[in-house]
Amino acid sequence: MSEAAKLLVTKDFVVVGSKGTLKCFHLQSGAVSFSYDHEFDDTVMDGVGKPLEKGLEDICLSRDGQYLCAIYSDKKLLIVNCRDWSHVGAVTTNRRPTAVDFQTDNQHVLLADKSGDVYRYSVADVRDSVAIAENTDCEAVSPILGHVSMMLDIASDDKYIYTADRDEKVRVSKLDHPYVIESYCLGHTEFVCKVESFCIDGVSMVVSCSGDSTVRLWDAKSGSEIQCLDVSAYFRSDNESSSGTRVVPCILQMSNDAPGFLLSSNQGGFSEVLLFEFESQSRNFALKSHFKPEDCERVCDVKYGRSADFVYVLSVSKETGQLRLRSYLYSCAEWRLADGSAAVDAINCSLRDFQVENADTWASLYKCKGDGDVYNSYFKRKADRIDKIMQKSTKQTKLTV
């Protein structure tokens, strides 16, 4: 699903993407190292012949930080070499993409699409296609696995591919043989919007986020649920417009230093950022701390910085309505604003050129529900309609006789 803005952070640079704009900033100086403005193809239509909405679907980095991949709503996949900021290539995907992830070999991209399929693209194949302006079709690429529902997120490690769909499922497939299903993680009652993996003592585990306002921990091999966290109590509505809205914890960032994760939501009115840590004795995650970013209308993305106690928050400013990047440091048992560097100020000046959207991208994914009166009314109308058909059929039979 298209979201307002995306953030990636390494030790050397910061990447921000929103709509058709993608920029990379040097972390020490704030200077723009790379800039790309995507030209959307207006001829690409949805399944009913309507123009697709224009948006950046997802971005990701290879594990070694060499390649940046971006996917767009008009079925385009772009790969950039972060060493010299050259275009590796761009291709047209078979279906509208929803999520992307680099494999651990740093040479293959896994792409999930709206029709429920997953494709594998190699960096070499994209490089050998054609120049970026020509956007070669890749219809010859076949899916390596598929769901019967819309795919919303994908992740991978050196053993498995983890896929999340609209029908409350997380599927664990073998990386080497994706058609072999290792397990299903079943328990969510609404769409699964985010999935990440990590390993503890050689055991592969999965963390998933859902529209049912829960975050769940699973054993990847067996698919058994280890923990269920209802995080709705941690998110307090900031305005009346979001009052009564179910929170979707769709922003999830795993820590590289120690087992733990950052959690937030990109819905308007829910601007809380939560930090969870894994407790080895209980084998569960526990809330370590949380904070509310300053001057924040809506959180767009959250990423760890130089350590697990330093985070970057990309948000929409209440005061200006523009994108803003801020850094926070956990010190003396509280999160403190760590802004003030010339580099962050320079980045924020460039972010003024980015377009911002405030639409709730998750509302349309909830299952239709109604109270008893709604269903009773439907069944009564259906019974009346069948009765009329039967009466008409009886009359026609008598006339024939």
Task: Give 229-248 pLDDT, tens digit per residue.
Answer: 999 999 987 665 555 688 99
Burial 263-286 (b: 16+ CB within 10 A, else e): bbbbbbbbbbbbbbebeeeeeebe
Task: Give 92-108 pLDDT, tens digit per residue.
Answer: 999 999 999 999 999 99
Distances (CA, A) of 271 to 156, 360, 368: 28, 14, 27
Torsion of CA 340, 346, 349, 351, to 10 degrees: -100
Task: Determine contact, residues 69/59, Cβ cutoff 8 Å.
Answer: yes
Of the ranges 53-67, 246-260, 381-395, which is most confident?
53-67
pLDDT at residue 31 above 90?
yes
Rounded mean pLDDT of 305-318?
93
Residues 6+ apart with CB under 8 A from 206: 162, 170, 172, 185, 195, 196, 197, 217, 218, 219, 220
Task: Determine contact, residues 18/56, Cβ cutoff 8 Å.
Answer: yes
pLDDT of 241 reads 54
Residues 6+ apart with CB under 8 A from 327: 305, 310, 311, 312, 313, 337, 338, 339, 344
Encoded tokens for 17: 């993407």
Task: Give 132-190 pLDDT, tens digit per residue.
Answer: 334 455 556 889 999 999 999 999 999 999 999 999 999 999 999 999 999 999 999 99
Rounded mean pLDDT of 2-31?
92
Task: Determine contact, residues 36/78, Cβ cutoff 8 Å.
Answer: yes
Q: What is the mean pLDDT of the chain?
A: 89
pTM comes to 0.88
pLDDT band at 371 (very low <50, low <70, confident <90, very high): low
Whole-angstrom Cα distance, residue 94 to residue 333? Answer: 49
pLDDT at residue 398 above 60?
no
Q: Give the DSSP H/E element, type plus range, for residue 348.
A: helix 342-351
pLDDT at residue 392 above 50?
yes
Task: Give 109-124 pLDDT, tens digit per residue.
Answer: 999 999 999 999 999 9
pLDDT at residue 352 above 50?
yes
pLDDT at residue 389 above 80?
no
Distances (CA, A) of 32 to 69, 176, 318, 347: 18, 38, 25, 8
